[in-house]
């Protein structure tokens, strides 16, 4: 694979991959989706952030306990076997495709601030799909090119969030936070939904574990990048969300296609609004860039184990699975076309909730992988202490998030997940790989 060291990414790029995949269009669009619930969403951010820390610790430990393996598929396979690994990673792959469709829509939504004509349905479809393919082409030039691009966009995307925090000190209105719960739901139900929605913005915690063969000193780089990336992201999310809600009222927030841009408009006017929109677009592009790398890496990993077609293994001169990259980007484009009957915020909300449910299958299993391995090894009780203190609370946390996702996204997610069963059976029979 990546034999040349110059083709590999280091701690800087690896950390930016984690930060870049989490800080993206999610944080820039979620405030509009969360506005109907009010300030209780801040508690949702906090809880999902704590869950993200636990997951970061889990993936850090797994990267150390199972070194040399490329991410979620091999981790799950070590703990629960081949089918569980395929099912989990199939769900994770689906979540990436859904996420990328949502990110393209979010980028389009912020682009309407600068180019209002994009609000037209036909133009918005063309614009969103064009973004998908531009990023696909960038990724086709290799992981090193992608890593540099990701590092630059990770820095640029933080600027509008920090600016929002600074500006809020001058116009902060505490009245925007009351009542705490604006919905007609109970506090527990509202908290469950907002935690589920905000957790979408933390998808990507495991990003550094996936391109293992493209990372320098992965046994050291991956754990550190995962930890650093998670803590940086949590701090930025919580403070920028509080700042935004202090600037713009919940009613205005709920009607906004570009929340941060509209908030800055209140203070700095149209010019400030356009500048923030540009940075938000950059953030979305950077996030989409990182996820596009992963959308091709996942099927490649499955194909290496004989569980998907060999077409996903074919690499170009830059060591990129070109066919897999273009096939998966075609799926993302199709998702955009299929779901454009909803408004921009509506489709974004649906896609992120559906994608979150699919991704949660990975986190449910990952929380118990180390415990499962220790049981197989008949390890002493002492060795179960730390994995249990981290894994068991995470296991119940992920199921609580599922409770908050809602019936429609869960229904469509289950249908998509069940497709994995006949595909696994077909390739398992066809494969010569011995398990």
Q: What is the CATH number of the domain that holds 13?
A: 1.20.1740.10
Summarize pLDDT for 147-187 with one digit per residue, the tens. 566 667 667 778 888 888 888 888 899 999 989 999 989 99
Assess if residue 251 is contained within a domain: yes
| 378 exposure class (CB count in 10 Å sphere: 0-12, 13-18, 19+) | exposed
d(CA 423, CA 150): 33
> For the chain, what is the domain count?
1
CA 301, 291, 60, 401 dihedral sign is negative
> Tokens 């170009």 identify what position?
316
Q: ∠310-140-339 over CA atoms, to 5°?
A: 80
Taking a C-beta distance cutoff of 8 angstroms, is the pair 183, 190 a contact?
A: yes
Q: 222-277, pLDDT tens digit by residue?
A: 777 777 878 888 888 889 889 999 999 988 888 887 888 888 888 888 888 898 88
Is residue 323 a part of any domain in this protein?
A: yes
Residue 203 in contact with residue 95, Cβ under 8 Å? yes
pLDDT at 433: 47
Mean pLDDT of the chain: 83
How many Cβ atoms are within 10 Å of 219's Cβ, its own excluded?
12
Residue 20: pLDDT over 70: no
More confident residue, 339 or 115: 115
Q: Is position 241 within any domain?
A: yes
Q: Is residue 40 very low, low, confident or very high in pLDDT (cuts 50, 70, 90)?
A: very high
Identify whether 435 is part of a domain. no
- Asked if residue 434 belongs to a domain, the reply is no
Q: Look at residue 80 and tell me if it is in a domain.
A: yes
Looking at the domain assignment, is residue 237 inside a domain?
Answer: yes
Residue 341, domain extent? 5-427
Helix (H), strand (E) at residue 6: none
pLDDT at 390: 94
CB 88 within 8 A of CB 196: no
Report the pLDDT averaged over residues 41-63.
Answer: 88
Q: Of residues 241 and 290, which shows the higher confidence score?
A: 241
Report the predicted TM-score, pTM, of the whole model to 2 decimal places.
0.78
Burial of residue 141 (number of CB atoms within 10 Å: 0-12, 13-18, 19+): middle
69 band by pLDDT with thresholds 50, 70 and 90: low
The Cβ-side half-sphere exposure at 312, using a 13 Å CA radius, reads: 19
Tokens (6 digits) for 65: 């306990």
* CA 228/CA 115 separation, integer angstroms: 36
Structure-block tokens of residue 41: 């969403």
Q: 22 pLDDT exceeds 80?
A: no
pLDDT in tens, 351-407: 888 988 998 998 999 999 999 999 999 999 999 999 999 999 999 999 999 888 888
- Residue 130: pLDDT above 80? yes
| Sequence-separated (6 or more) residues with CB below 8 Å from residue 285 | 107, 131, 135, 153
246 is a domain residue: yes
Question: In this predicted structure, which of 23-27, 76-80, 255-259 has the lowest mean pLDDT?
Answer: 23-27
Q: Cβ-count burial of 10 within 10 angstroms (0-12 exposed, 13-18 middle, 19+ buried)? A: middle
């Amino acid at each position: 694979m990546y034999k040349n060291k110059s083709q590999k990414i280091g701690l800087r790029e690896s950390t930016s991959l984690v930060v870049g995949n989490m800080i993206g269009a999610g944080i820039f669009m979620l405030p509009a989706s969360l506005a109907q619930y009010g300030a209780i969403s801040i508690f949702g951010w906090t809880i999902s952030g704590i869950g993200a820390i636990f997951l970061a610790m889990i993936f850090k430990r797994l990267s150390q306990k199972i070194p040399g393996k490329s991410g979620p598929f091999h981790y799950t396979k070590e703990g629960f076997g081949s089918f569980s690994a395929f099912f989990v990673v199939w769900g994770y792959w689906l979540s990436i495709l859904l996420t990328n469709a949502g990110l393209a829509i979010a980028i389009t939504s912020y682009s309407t601030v600068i180019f209002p004509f994009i609000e037209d349905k036909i133009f918005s479809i063309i614009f969103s799909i064009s973004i998908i393919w531009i990023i696909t082409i960038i990724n086709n030039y290799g992981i090193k090119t992608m890593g540099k691009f990701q590092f630059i966009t990770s820095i640029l995307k933080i600027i509008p969030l920090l600016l929002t925090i600074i500006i809020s000190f001058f116009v902060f209105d505490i009245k925007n936070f009351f009542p705490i719960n604006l919905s007609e739901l109970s506090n527990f139900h509202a908290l469950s939904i907002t935690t589920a929605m905000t957790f979408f913005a933390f998808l990507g915690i495991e990003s550094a574990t996936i391109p293992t063969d493209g990372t320098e000193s992965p046994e050291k780089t991956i754990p550190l990048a995962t930890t650093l990336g998670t803590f940086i992201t949590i701090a930025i999310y919580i403070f920028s969300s509080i700042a935004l809600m202090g600037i713009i009222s919940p009613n205005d927030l709920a009607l906004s296609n570009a929340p941060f841009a509209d908030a800055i408009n209140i203070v700095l006017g149209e010019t400030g609004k356009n500048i923030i929109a540009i940075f938000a677009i950059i953030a979305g592009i950077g996030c989409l860039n990182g996820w596009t790398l992963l959308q091709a890496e996942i099927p490649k990993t499955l194909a290496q184990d004989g569980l998907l077609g060999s077409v996903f293994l074919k690499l170009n001169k830059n060591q990129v699975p070109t066919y897999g990259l273009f096939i998966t980007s075609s799926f993302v484009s199709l998702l955009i076309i299929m779901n454009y009957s909803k408004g921009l915020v509506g489709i974004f909300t649906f896609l992120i909730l559906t994608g979150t449910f699919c991704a949660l299958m990975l986190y449910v299993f990952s929380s118990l992988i180390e415990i499962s391995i220790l049981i197989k090894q008949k390890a002493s009780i002492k060795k179960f202490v730390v994995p249990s203190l981290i894994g068991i609370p995470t296991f119940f946390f992920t199921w609580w998030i599922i409770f908050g996702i809602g019936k429609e996204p869960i229904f469509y997610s289950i249908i998509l997940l069940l497709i994995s069963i006949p595909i696994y059976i077909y390739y398992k029979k066809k494969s010569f790989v011995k398990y």
